[in-house]
Amino acid sequence: MMNYKQLTNILNTYSAVMFIKHPAAGLMILITTLWYPNIGLSGLLSTLAGLATLWAFQLPKNENSIYTLNSLLVGLSLGAFFELNAYLALLIILSAIMVIFLSVTLADGLWRMDRIPLLSLPFVIIAILASLIAHNTGKLTNYLSISSNPEPWFGTWADTFFNSLGATFFTPHPLVGGIIFLCMLAYSRYLAFLACCGFIVGLCVFNVLVDNPQPYMIAWSGFNFVLTAIALGGIYTVPGVASFFFAMLGAGLAALLSASIQNILLVYGLPVMALPFVLVTLTLLIAMKKRTKWSSLILASEPGPPELNYERSRLANFRQGGFDSVPLLAPFYGKWNIYQGFNGHHTHQPPWQHALDFFIQEDEKSFTLDGNKLEDYYCYGVPVQSPVYGLVVRTVDNIADNPPGEIDTKNNWGNFILIRLETGLHVLLAHLSQNSIKVKEGDWIKPGTTIANCGSSGRSPQPHLHLQVQQDATLGSPTVAFHLCSVITSKSTTDAEYKVVSRPEEHDTVEPAEINERMSTRLHFPVGRTLHYAIEGTDISDKTRCKLRVEVTLAGQFRIVSDSGASVALTEANGVLAFYDRTGPADILMDMWALGLGLTPLTERATHWNDSPPATLLPLTYIQRVYLSLLHPLGSGLNSRYQRQWNKESKTWVQHGKHELKVAATRLSASTTAILDPEVGCTQLTLSSANKKWHAHLIETGLAEDEGIPGWRSLSSGNSPSELQNDEMLQHQEPS
Amino acid sequence: MSEKNTTKKAWVKPEITPLRNGLANKFGSVRNVNWCDSIDDVPFDKLIRSYGSPLFVASEQKLRSNIKRIKNAFSSRYPRIQMAWSYKTNYLGAICNVLHQEDAWAEVVSRFEYEKARKLGVPGQCIFFNGPNKSREILERAIDENARIHIDHLDELYLIEDIAASRNKEVNIGIRLNFDTGYTEPWSRFGFNIESGQAMDAVWRISSSTHLKLVGLHSHIGTFVLEPRAYSSQVSIMCAFLREVEGKTSFKIDYIDIGGGFASFNALQGIYLPPEQVVPSIEQYAEAICETLLEETHDHLSQGRNRPLLVLESGRAIVDDAEVLVTTVVANKRLPDGRRAVVLDAGVNLLFTAYWYNHVVRPTKPLDGKPEETVLYGPLCMNIDVMRNSVILPPLSVGDQLVFSSVGAYNNTQWQQFIEYRPNVVMVHNNGGVSVIRTAENLETMTAHEKLPEHLSRPFPDDQPEK
């Protein structure tokens, strides 16, 4: 018997063809493919054959259904070309098995090469090869005639578009295409928009290149324009002006390839299938990864719907200083100055423009006494800490420190440590003091590990520390932008300010902000932690209790999940607790949590900071939500300003947030207050917007029991922390 | 006659000097023969005219830059440091508040110092309360105000436990430790001894109490410690003890207080090399302490814990060279052994540290004449009142001024009210302004606390005839 999960797998396979991940959309599409039962059943047969192959050979599963997607398409194509009989069924099953093996073989290799997606490449190869068998046998009869024009339905223009969409599933029928389009529209308006624009651009190019194109040609080629536009403009890139034009260019190129390839394949009675889409998308994506300079076109870190890509990129820009900037911690203790910043005029020139030189100054002098001995310099001999988690791949430790004022250009970098990051990039710390390196090649190090002392070796006229992120392990390979996390920076002595991310400039002062242990302990959310809140406020009839629970996904992402199923992802890194990726149904507690604590620095030095959480977290009315999604289809970020003070009376930190968004002439706003008790955690949350107000207070915290791990619960009075029975084990709690 | 010929040579006081060997020895006993006429661009003669002689002059700028240098030297080498101003070194309110403004907390050792810190506005939780004599009364206040108390002996532990129990409160405490670093004379009269197991016994006793929680370890290895390795050794021993405590009990040690004792640029009597050669720089101390501490607390990092806070109770190294004493020559003398002697208006009553330092003494203006070995005496009619036993100075006239430098530490606290009134103490500010931070004593202040019983209210009977 087929269970629910397997059914979902089949349905997701259908929707995945259009880059949609939704079983309902898959079901709609499955049904529409049965418009031509011959095609629909062939597709279903090959999908099942594909799933059976995966199961029988214990092949890895792919959550994006990319393997079965290719087997589905093979079945659909063969079903479209030939009438279903025992011979074709055998051909479909064999082809489906072959395509699964090919997909599994290629997918991993391509991804490892340069994170290249598989797309429907195996399908194109196998479908063409399998179709050619018709020349050797008389047991196959043609089903759909590729070169016959489809029947009119909606009207010329709509027919052309919808036929083309239907042809994605080898059912070139306007009704099928219409339903596919509706699914797209429901899933992502931006994808539907890209589909229309891509089709129009591709069609124009196609019309210019081909004299008097026949409607059947357009129907069998057009979906290539659509898929290319979707993939390049929304799935594999971050939506924006640059990626839109990139997608349109891709649609045009797909038209070029369609126009030319059809002449080869029509000889064998075959349409171009998805070959133009696969060729254009893969080549353009691979080529974009080889860019020497990052442009405004941003490739998504992992494929996803455009709204999600946009949201991730928006948050990354705001919280991390951009997708392409590497987060580092300050590699030292105390207050340092920037001797030379990015693009510094001394030596920080391309391709080494992304580098920081640090030294210590007091009263604008870097030395005490007369400064003619290295020991006179404040930063000489001071310990240097690792700014990252990584693997030490190279160290040089035997170059003498230069006397002040002299440089050693033979050993440009002097003594250095090169650390490999998980991403494959490398961090270089240079000009270290002779014989001071405390780590060796092959060591795994973490932030805060003392690795060497600051020195003045190599091209260093006075003791200083050089920090850069570079592309590979070659000494002095081209540099990559980076930023420092959770630091206090200042231009003068009076304007010291906490920054979640900072890229300091020449003469700035930088000081790492010390993590407050009490704050970080209480705002630490291990898997299984449960928090029970009582909520009251607008539209909540009585005091409602709601439970939040920390779960971890298979990919290792931590999420706080509410009773209602709403959840938000959390990360605790580089001295900051951050929430993102809110999904699931409406849930006021989850929204309060994500707004009130959205970005929380775990240091007492942070008194005010900004963030930009998604506007959908605001308690909006249905009409406001529709209005917002029309004006900002890709989503929009709030202008959130946070302030935090220590309240002496209640002995808690009070974290206020003001969240605002200007949409055309209207202004949406809300304010949040989170009370952080150093003994308990977040004891109270309030959210108020217009005349609505909600309040939640913590009644109980605990840890769910796990195999071999006892659970615990402790009561929290919420209002008066002094009465708290902190961490008291009351009873073992059953895992829920 | 032309102008040139009318110029007379300056008159130089005639003198006879015996020929003596040993002055030009290899240790260079002639040092700082130059003169010094101002502090932070404020001339001494102006200060003396306004505020009288003798006069203590403190420099706000020097104070701030001294503490900043220490703070930076340590905070660039270790992630968590806290300075605590050692009140006994110099508890004049203005001095304390300059340092508090530079983020230093207070380190006090008595009821008076505690009350003074609180009066100056230091919150209780920013006060480290050391010392062997803490009365119940002041402990009650300190506990109520969440001061960081370092217990010195078991009797104090019982007292604190009793107070905590009566208030039903959990009190965070630190303990004072003593041990042999191998470099300095152990100060074993304070705190609990590690080697004998006494300290661990005390920790067990604390862990058995429901009202006490051990959060800090404190020790102080000595004063004017010239060997930075002594501190490495101290930190190692304390960290080993920390691991023992955390391993055997459930306490988590939040801070390690290593006391003070850094030497200042002053010449201790009996040490022949000049301070420039024997006194380590603050950076050398910082390196010795922080390098060891980083190594010893590396396991905190792997446990995801913050490293313990490093508390420094520096006194002398911050304040000593931020204050000078200006004195005036009262008289010249020739001693029977032929040495020249000068009587000054300030003596060991004001400059208590003259007992153990050879202070730098410089005139406030260039003086002519051949420098000669001189004894500097204070104004007291006591044989011990010697400011410098032997210093090479040019001939001095009555009214000339001499500046004693590096006098900021222990003088304004240990000076004596003896024979003389104590003079003004002024502070020169960053903007060149000058404030009196302690006014000179007069008869009224000297007798303010005296009470005359009725029958002793008159020295002589009223009806006594005039003599």
A329, A332, A333: best mutation site toward chain B, by most B Cβ within 10 Å? A333
User: Which member of A360, A363, A448 has the closest CB to residue B301?
Assistant: A448
**In the predicted model, what is the mean pLDDT of chain B?**
91
Pick from B281, B467, B396, B264: which is nearest to A368 by CA? B281
Tell me the backbone φ, ψ of residue A516, rounded to 5 degrees. -85, 120
Residue A136 vs residue B84, higher pLDDT: B84
pLDDT bin (cut points 50, 70, 90) of residue A710 is confident
**At residue A295, does pLDDT exceed 80?**
no
Residue B283, min C-alpha distance to chain A (Å): 8
Mean pLDDT over residues A470-482, rounded? 88
**At residue A728, does pLDDT exceed 80?**
no
pLDDT bin (cut points 50, 70, 90) of residue B33 is low
Secondary element (H or E) of residue A103: helix A86-114
CB–CB of B329/B344 below 8 Å? yes
**In the predicted model, what is the mean pLDDT of chain A?**
87
B78 shares contact with chain A (CB less than 8 Å) = yes
CA distances from A509 to A259, A550, B173 (A): 60, 38, 36
Residue A364 vs residue A76, higher pLDDT: A76
What ranges in B57-110 are assigned the alpha helix state H? Answer: 60-75, 93-101
Mean pLDDT over residues A74-92, rounded? 92
Q: How many CB atoms lie within 10 A of CB A409?
A: 7
Residues from chain B that touch A450, judged by Cβ atoms under 8 A, are 294-295, 298
Instruction: Enter the ipTM.
Output: 0.78
A446, A517, A519, A725: best mutation site toward chain B, by most B Cβ within 10 Å? A517
CB contact under 8 A, B298 and A515: no
pLDDT bin (cut points 50, 70, 90) of residue B187 is confident
- State how far the Cα of A519 lies from the Cα of A577, in Å rounded to an integer: 10
Burial classification of residue A732, based on how many CB atoms lie within 10 Å of its CB (0-12 exposed, 13-18 middle, 19 or more buried): exposed
Q: Which tokens hold the place of A339?
A: 């001797």
**Burial A680-719, CB ≥16 within 10 A → b, else e:** bbbbbbbbbbeeeebbbbbbbbbbbbeeeeebbbbbbebe
**At residue B17, does pLDDT exceed 70?**
no
For every residue of B164-199, DSSP letters joined together read: HHHHT--EEEEEEEE---SSS---TTSSEESTTSHH
At A613, is the secondary structure helix, strand, or coil? Answer: coil
Q: Which residue of A has its CA nearest to B67?
A: A362
- State how far the Cα of A646 lies from the Cα of A651, in Å rounded to an integer: 7
Tell me the backbone φ, ψ of residue A257, rounded to 5 degrees. -70, -40
Chain B segment 361-400 residues within 8 A of A by beta carbon are none
Residue A446, min C-alpha distance to chain B (Å): 9
CB–CB of B106/B84 below 8 Å? yes
**At residue B58, does pLDDT exceed 90?**
yes
The whole-number pLDDT of residue B116 equals 97
- Percent of chain B having pLDDT more than 90? 76
CB–CB of B172/B148 below 8 Å? yes
Secondary element (H or E) of residue B244: helix B228-248
CB contact under 8 A, B76 and A381: no
Kindly report, residue by residue over B370-390, the tens digit of the pLDDT: 788 899 999 999 899 999 999
The whole-number pLDDT of residue A294 equals 64
Residue B205, min C-alpha distance to chain A (Å): 23
Residue A723 vs residue A657, higher pLDDT: A657
pLDDT bin (cut points 50, 70, 90) of residue A359 is very high
CB contact under 8 A, B283 and A378: yes
Mean pLDDT over residues A446-467, rounded? 93
Mean pLDDT over residues A413-430, rounded? 93
**At residue A313, does pLDDT exceed 90?**
no
- State how far the Cα of B2 lies from the Cα of B322, in Å rounded to an integer: 50
pLDDT bin (cut points 50, 70, 90) of residue A277 is very high
CB contact under 8 A, A360 and B72: yes
Strands (E), B163-293: 171-178, 192-193, 212-219, 255-257, 267-268
Mean pLDDT over residues B22-40, rounded? 64
pLDDT bin (cut points 50, 70, 90) of residue A716 is low
CB contact under 8 A, A383 and B294: yes
Instruction: Classify A411 in phi/psi space as left (phi over 0), alpha (psi -120 to 50) or beta.
Output: beta
Pick from A675, A686, A654, A656: which is nearest to A536 by CA? A686
For every residue of A276-300, DSSP letters joined together read: HHHHHHHHHHHHHTT-SS--S--B-
Q: Among A214-218, A252-256, A718-722, which is the least confidently predicted range?
A: A718-722
Residues from chain B that touch A335, judged by Cβ atoms under 8 A, are 72, 75-76
Residue B371 vs residue B83, higher pLDDT: B83
Residues from chain B that touch A360, judged by Cβ atoms under 8 A, are 72, 76
Residue A518, min C-alpha distance to chain B (Å): 10
The whole-number pLDDT of residue A723 equals 35
CB contact under 8 A, B283 and A381: yes
Q: Domains in chain B and their CATH numbers?
A: 38-57+321-441 (2.40.37.10), 130-314 (3.20.20.10)
Residue B296, min C-alpha distance to chain A (Å): 12
**At residue A426, does pLDDT exceed 90?**
yes
Residues 6+ apart with CB under 8 A from B381: B419
Mean pLDDT over residues B276-280, rounded? 87
**At residue B5, does pLDDT exceed 70?**
no
The residue to which tokens 């606290």 are assigned: B413
Angle at A621 between CA A618 and CA A623, to 5 degrees: 125
pLDDT bin (cut points 50, 70, 90) of residue A256 is very high
Q: Which one-letter DSSP state was computed for residue B88? A: G
Give the bridge partners for B311, in sequence order: B82, B257
Residues from chain B that touch A519, judged by Cβ atoms under 8 A, are none
